[in-house]
Amino acid sequence: MKNITFIIAFLFVSSLAIAQKPVEKGLATINRQSAEAYIGFLASDALRGREAGKSGGKVAAEYIKATLMDMGIKPFEGEYFQPFDAYARERQIRGRFQVNPDSIAVYKKQSAYRKLSMQNVLGYIEGKNKNEFVIVGAHFDHIGTDRTLVVDKIYNGADDNASGVSAVLQIAKAFLASGVQPERSIIFAFWDGEEIGSLGSQYFLLARPDISGIKGYLNFDMIGRNQDESKPNHVVYFYTEAHPVFGDWLKNDIAKYKLTLEPDYRPWDKPVGGSDNSSFAKKDIPIIWYHTDGHPDYHQPTDHADKLNWDKVVNITKASYLNMWNMANEKSF
């Protein structure tokens, strides 16, 4: 009798696994435990605020690379790291770091100028169509430390933007777990230098000989906090207005998968504000951008992981994985 019961149970579980669609296999891997692990490390004091070009930022890049390798995500174009340099005038003259070759050429003519070395981290799943790409990205740098601060000298950046990095990592894992090759190739991008001018995403596009194959970009920047504690499910959903289906995707998936999110839908002709989405929008690449608004700990040493709304992080990650599934597989959008 016990053997019969075991066989029946085994067949039942097996039938459920067979019935589960590939997209749902991936969705099932997204969870709070992984989010806590990724964010916990990236926002720890050991990384010293992940400042671009500094040791903490380099450790963060190595950690992301190691995580992608452990998952089995391949590097983009043979290398996980995409190194780049940014230049600026000497610090007594106001001005931001630049990666544009024309600006760099001007700076190099000066008697004194600054140079900062950084690196993006890029993972890759090859699609059936190798020449079309969709990208999901988040910046991993933050603003480092301030030794003159009393008590807490580290800007840990749990929400800004370890939360976003955790989402990209979970989405990469989910696509592998689906077991199917997407129609378009997917780049999992982790940008350096966002806090000083979205430099990593700018450089990525400048370095591409042809960006016409990039069909869409999804961005995360701060997806883990409540601006208003009475609205714990609030999320701002920016997307390119010329692609209204982006709004339909989210509405349909929230209903279908019972995701506890209450989006503020903000279609925008060219979403150029705020984060790395700007680099892509300026090139007329369709974008989606998740953001949960500002809060008192923004760019403060108090942006710690214990203040995150973990359910929100997980549900945004699930919703955006479903967005990316559509971006990677829909014939047109």
For residue range 22-47, list pLDDT tens digits in order.
999 999 999 999 999 999 999 999 99
8 Å CB contact between 194 and 200:
yes
In a domain, 155, yes or no: yes
For strand 262-268 and strand 214-220, is the pairing parallel, antiparallel, or unpaired?
unpaired
Number of domains forming the structure of the chain = 1
Query: Which are the contacts of 142, defined by CB distance < 8 A and separation ≥ 6?
Result: 49, 50, 51, 155, 156, 157, 160, 161, 162, 195
For 110-139, give one letter per residue: b (16+ CB within 10 A) or e: eeebeebebbbbbbbbebeeeebbbbbbbb
In a domain, 1, yes or no: no
In a domain, 248, yes or no: yes
pLDDT by residue (tens digit) across 158-193?
A: 999 999 999 999 999 999 999 999 999 999 999 999
In a domain, 166, yes or no: yes
* CATH number of the CATH domain containing 262: 3.40.630.10
In a domain, 108, yes or no: no
Domain range for 133 is 22-84+118-329
The pLDDT of residue 213 is above 90: yes
pLDDT band at 92, cuts 50/70/90? confident
In a domain, 11, yes or no: no
- Only one residue has tokens 């106001």, namely 94
pLDDT value at residue 9: 47
In a domain, 8, yes or no: no
pLDDT band at 17, cuts 50/70/90? very low
